[in-house]
Structure 1
Amino acid sequence: MKGPVDKAMEVLEALVQPGGPHRLGDLARRTGLPKPTVHRHLRTMAEHGFAEPAEGGSYRAGPRLLGLAAAVLDDDAALELARPVLADLRRRTGHVALYAVRHASEAVYVEQSEPAREYRMSARPGHRSPLHACGVGLAMLSALPAEERAAFASLHASASEARTPHTITDPAALRALLAQAALSGYAVEDEYDEPDVRSVAAPVLDAQGHVVGAIGISGLTFTMDSDSVAVFGPMVRAAARTVSAGLGARTPALGAVGTSDRGERE
């Protein structure tokens, strides 16, 4: 049974989703909570600066919430190291470059560097995807010990709803994919999370060898074919290792971002 704090967190999470400001009815539908309950929590959040009334009876994130988020992101060492690396990946590949972290069984996107183009990826800061259905999630899982990877695959793959017809829901197939990603140092996601979108990602590790996030690039399938993946994979892997090295991780010697397998000094 959900308590008041659980409900407040659900309202807050719905409030910060893209497309705001959000109307009360939309927030109620998204959370599954009654309108009076949502309204009560919004009023409390507004009193403390975490929500802010907008036109037409809608609400947006408040200044205090934005300030807290900015303070946390500004103090994140991995994110600080990742930002220039993402910009470099975006320039070199022409694709949107992303940094994500893990929360339970989901990947949460926290930063991106996006080229100017006529279409936009759905995976934007704040967006969440199941770990087994997105490139950054697969990359983070691939860096776990083999027994943890296997346990996650057995627990989550078949039990999760398929995001697309291509989403891997067979535990054995997911275990094999993660094992291959662990060997190559990067994971490839092929329309698992979103139709016509492919991504390549690699894990970021801290000084203790723990996974703290993942760096990836994402693009439409016709712009990221198998030949492109063979080039982009080592680029993303080198980018992630640059960030990991900045955090004190002991990784193989790094090549320059954008080199091929042969050119990387591993």
Structure 2
Amino acid sequence: MAGVPERNQSTSLRRALAVLDHVRDNSGLTLTRLAEGVGLSKSTVLRLTAPLIEARLLERDHRSGVYRLGHGTLRLGQAYLATLDLRAVAAEESHRLMTEVRETVHLVVHDPPHVVYIDKVENETNVRMASRIGSRGPAHCTAVGKAILAFLPGDPVEGLELESRTRHTITDPDRLRRELAGVRRRGYAVDDRENEPEVRCVGAPVFNHTGAVVAAVSVSGLTSRITAARVRELGPRVAAAAARISGKLGATT
């Protein structure tokens, strides 16, 4: 674009990106409908789409003339996903959640039959949680573990050793299956003094671009602060934070 003023280049780029976004949201558009959708003339749209087609970001059917995304967008998406780091992606939402609820936030991944704590954002004004980054915990009696188990394929309870950690730990396989069904219905899991006697946790699953559960995020605190009534308020907040992290990982639902 040598010789083209910088302002004109910037305007053309913004218009081309608007065209690309519109095709993304409305695949199968003719030139006329695409021009109407972005509020530009057909000749301008033809000019803007030419380099997008060359870069394989757009395709135009030779017979029908309709536009759709090209396979170059897939390569871009794959390259983006390959560079994602779960901790980095989740960091902003984890800190935001801690600020909202003023309780410790954990991020974990599944390493069957355990969960592994890979990040922790602690509210230092409260009593510190004993967990540490790199430590492992049982999946069946932690909120993060149950949040992951609930969305695994097959029967995630089969073969699990349901060790009793407190008098509240669920050790009956069928009862745990019912508990996981409840997690799927409401979108978050609860550890009600099941792993530590004086601690309650609320956790929600994190999904990747394929829809697979890859992690979980949770809020933890002493039962004096996280009462049974407060769990109902925290649940949707934790689930919303997990959903935002999932969106950054490419999940669509």
TM over 0.5: yes
Structure 2 residue 138 is the aligned partner of structure 1 residue 130 = yes
**Residues 133, 193 of structure 1: 8 Å contact kept:** yes
What SS class does the counterpart of residue 235 from structure 1 fall into? helix
Please report the TM-score for the alignment, with normalisation by the length of structure 1. 0.62
**Structure 1 gap segments, 5+ residues each:** 1-74, 252-266
The answer for the alignment partner of 2:87 in structure 1 is: 79
Per the alignment, residue 102 of structure 1 pairs with 110
Give the ranges of 4+ consecutive aligned residues of structure 1 lying more than 4 Å apart after TM superposition. none
Q: Give the conservation status (yes or no) of the 8 Å contact 2:150–2:156.
A: no
Paired residues, number: 171
Q: Superposed, which structure 2 residues align to 1:151-190 within 5 Å?
A: 151-156=155-160, 159-190=161-192
Where does residue 194 of structure 1 map in the other structure? 196
Classify the secondary structure of the residue corresponding to 1:168.
Answer: coil
For 1:93 and 1:124, the matched residues in 2 are separated by 20
The separation in 2 between residues aligned to 1:136 and 1:194, in whole angstroms, is 14
Query: CA–CA distance in 2 between the matches of 1:152 and 1:142?
Result: 7
Alignment of 1:220 with 2:228, yes or no, is no
1:107 aligned counterpart, secondary structure: strand
Compute the RMSD of aligned alpha carbons: 1.3
Residue 92 in structure 1 maps to residue 100 in structure 2? yes
Q: Which amino acid aligns with 2:159?
A: L
Mapped contact 1:77–1:247 kept (Cα < 8 A): no
Contact persistence 2:204–2:218 (CA under 8 A) = yes
Code of the aligned partner of 1:155: G
Q: Is the 8 A contact 1:81 1:246 kept in 2?
A: yes
Question: Hey, what's the Cα distance between the residues in 2 that align with 1:185 and 1:105?
Answer: 21
Give the Cα separation in 2 of the matches to 1:78 and 1:154: 28
Q: State the partner residue of 2:129.
A: 121
How big is each residue's C-alpha offset from its partner over 1:181-206, in whole Å with a ceiling of 9 and x where there is no partner? 01111001111111110000100000
Distance between the aligned counterparts of 2:111 and 2:157, measured in 1? 16
**Partners of 2:84 and 2:249 within 8 A in 1:** no
Residues in 1 aligned to 2:182 and 2:144: alpha-carbon distance in whole angstroms? 15
- Larger Rg computed on CA atoms: 2
Q: 1:161 deviation in Å?
A: 2.2
SS of residue matched to 1:194: coil
1:219 maps to amino acid: G
Residue type matched to 1:207 in 2?
Answer: H
1:247-262 residue pairs with structure 2 within 5 A?
247-251=249-253
